[in-house]
Amino acid sequence: MKEKERSKYSGLTSNKVLAQNTLITILAKVFPLVVGIFALPYLISELGEEKFGMLAIIWLIISYFSMFDLGIGRAVVKEVSDLIGANEYEEIPVAAWTGIISIFLMGILGGLILYVTGELILNRAFDTTNQVAVDALLYTSFAVPFIVATTGFRAVLMAEQNFFAISVIQSINSILNYLLPLLLLYFFGFEFIEIVIALLILKIVAFFAFAVSGLISEPSLRSGTHFNKVYLSKMFHFGKWVTISNVVGPLISQLDRYFIAAVISVSAVTFYTTPLEVLTKLMMVPMAFITVLFPAFSTLASKSHERREKLYLESSKGVMLLLFPTILIISTFADYGLKVWVGAEFVEKSTFVAQIFCVVFFLRGIAYIPATYLPGLNRPDLPAKFHLFEIIVFVTGLYFAARTGDINIVAFVSLGITALDTLLLLFAAFNLLEQKSEMLKKIVWPMIFGALILLSLPFLELVMFYMTSAIALTIYLITYHKYLFKITGKLKKALLDS
């Protein structure tokens, strides 16, 4: 490999590159979200509730089948990043093509399964036998291999910190996901099935866009395809634990709603989930961090621990400090926000839930960093094992909580399992760190203090409630104002440079 080609791998884990990519990733999530907020009401109006419901089901099934790579996409990021960190650049095309080919083959298998079981899925899981929906799902099965295989080329771009290409493709794809049906309905009068086909073609075009970008970003991929059983074995070993986390993790985050619907009432789910809508959007910040950090942690895994550990500590601190004031303000004014947004009835029934989930999302946002750090150090088994243990505890707790008929108690159980998950992940990361005292000082003690402040708010009288929020926010600003100016300056510089 020529020296010029090698030079592109230097500086991939620098603060400047990581800050730029984090900012780009956040913006790439915000733009489609804004478009979706404005476009969805029109799309529902034009399609009608029934057809939009069918489209939503297809989107949901696509999201589930996109996990059919069985964690190999994540493993490709890990493997290529490891090779970059070890300066074994000649092995990159071998590892990358092994992963890409494997993922495409699994995508074909996923497409065949959807083709055979599509009607059964609609009938059993969604209680519909609508022939149009069945036909739409059959067409979807032909696109599944391309949708799944997208993760392979995207993994190469992630490993090489080419998040600009990723963000451009994903943003355009997500925006057109909302706008294309509207344009086809308004200008050409397309039928529902034709709109579904157009959206599937869009997914296939996105695959080729990622493929071309991957081949440009990593020219060695153009020298020919490779398939190596050793890399395949390593990727499957890594991927199996990622798959467990990808399946069990989202299930844990949804189980409380299923228990409320089954044991309390379906209407109670509305009062429980509505406050979560705003808080869920806040998770875009830590999600952007970990998207960029995973390949960086992997690249640094074979190098000096000082830079890797500093990156872990600073990113954890950054996420915590960005989340805390926002969540504190949301918790403080939860009742007013709910009244303005959804009405007075939600103030009575959802305010306490909203304030408890402020603590949940504060802890969850921090937990994303160690949950990414551990796989980056080749320990994907730890988050997966924690999830398997936690789901047993969670189901048991939810069973008894839901039987009380009180959604507030269910929210407490959700807080308990989130706190358990966060502590387990932090403890695992703590054991792998050499800078243990720094982690306690920068992350653990401030996190506990912040969580206790947020947890106390629902139980305080009105005067003490606002005083506590004001004092906590003042202490926060006095303690961290220099750091906030520093991180804001870095982000501003990264935005201008990008």
pLDDT number for residue 250: 84
Torsion sign (Cα): 377, 378, 379, 384: positive
pLDDT of res. 129: 65
Please answer whether residues 422 and 367 qualify as being in contact, where contact means their C-beta atoms are separated by less than 8 angstroms: yes
Q: Which strand (E) or helix (H) includes residue 35? A: helix 15-47
Least confident of 53-62, 128-137, 405-414, 479-488: 479-488
How far apart (Å, rounded) are the C-alpha atoms in residues 187 and 179?
12
**Confidence class for position 484, pLDDT limits 50, 70, 90:** low
What pLDDT is recorded for position 417? 95
Q: Which residue has the higher pLDDT, 190 or 389?
A: 389
Tokens of 173: 């794809």
257 CB-contact burial (10 Å; exposed 0-12 / middle 13-18 / buried 19+): middle
Confidence bin at 169 (pLDDT 50/70/90): very high
Q: What is the mean pLDDT of residues 165-180?
A: 91
pLDDT at 493: 62
Closest CA to 228 of 375, 90, 65: 90
By 3-state DSSP, what share of the chain in percent is helix, strand and coil, each rounded to 5? 90, 0, 10
30: tokens are 């915000």
Of the pLDDT bands very low, low, confident and very high (cuts 50, 70, 90), residue 5 is low
CA dihedral 51, 252, 73, 201 (to 10 degrees): 0
- With cut-offs at 50, 70 and 90, classify the pLDDT of residue 481: low
- Give the whole-angstrom CA distance, residue 5 versus residue 292: 22
DSSP string, 354-423: HHHHHHHHHHHHHHHHHHHHHHHTT-THHHHHHHHHHHHHHHHHHHHHHHTT-HHHHHHHHHHHHHHHHH
pLDDT > 90 fraction of the chain, expressed in percent and rounded: 41
Q: Is the pLDDT of residue 496 over 60?
A: no
More confident residue, 6 or 215: 215
Q: What is the mean pLDDT of the chain?
A: 86
Cα separation, 318 vs 402, whole angstroms: 36
In this predicted structure, the answer to whether residue 275 has a pLDDT above a threshold of 60 is yes
Quick count: other Cβ atoms within 10 Å of Cβ 222? 10
For CA atoms 32, 162, 80, 379, give the dihedral sign.
negative
Question: In this structure, are residues 169 and 113 in contact, taking their beta carbons and an 8 Å threshold?
Answer: no
User: How far is residue 474's CA from residue 193's CA, in Å, rounded to a whole number?
Assistant: 56
Name which of 365, 326, 370, 289 is nearest 25 in CA terms.
289
Report residue 7's pLDDT band, with 50, 70 and 90 as the boundaries: low
User: What does the alpha-carbon distance between residue 108 and residue 337 come to, in Å, rounded to a whole number?
Assistant: 47
311: nearest Cα among 15, 9, 12: 15
The token duo for 354 is 């909203």
pLDDT digits 0-9 by tens, 397-423: 999 999 999 999 999 999 999 999 999
- Quote the pLDDT of residue 295: 92
- Count of other CB atoms within 10 angstroms of residue 459: 10
Q: Tell me, rounded to whole angstroms, the distance of Cα 336 from its chain centroid.
A: 29
Q: For 300-315, what is the mean pLDDT?
A: 85
More confident residue, 193 or 465: 193
Burial 121-148 (b: 16+ CB within 10 A, else e): bbeeebebeeeebbbbbebbbebbbbbb
Alpha helices in 66-130, H assignment, sequence order: 72-85, 92-125
Structure tokens at 424: 């387990």
pLDDT 10s digits, 446-456: 999 899 989 98
**Burial environment of residue 445 by CB neighbours within 10 A (0 to 12, 13 to 18, 19 or more):** exposed
Does the pLDDT value for residue 267 go beyond 90?
A: no
Q: Which two tokens stand for residue 194?
A: 């034709």
**Which stretch, 242-256, 322-336, 393-407, 478-492, has highest mean pLDDT?**
393-407
Higher per-residue confidence, 480 vs 453: 453
pLDDT of residue 343: 78
Mean pLDDT over 348-364 rounds to 92
Quick: pLDDT tens for 112-156. Answer: 988 888 777 777 655 666 677 788 888 888 999 999 999 999 999
DSSP symbol at 434? S
Distance CA(384)–CA(424), nearest Å, equals 11
Q: What's 126's DSSP letter?
A: S
**φ, ψ (nearest 5 deg) of residue 161:** 55, 35
Q: How many CB atoms lie within 10 A of CB 267?
A: 11
Residue listed under structure tokens 């190469």: 156
| In contact, 89 and 308? CB cutoff 8 Å | no
What is the rounded distance in angstroms from the CA atom of residue 352 to the CA atom of residue 362? Answer: 16
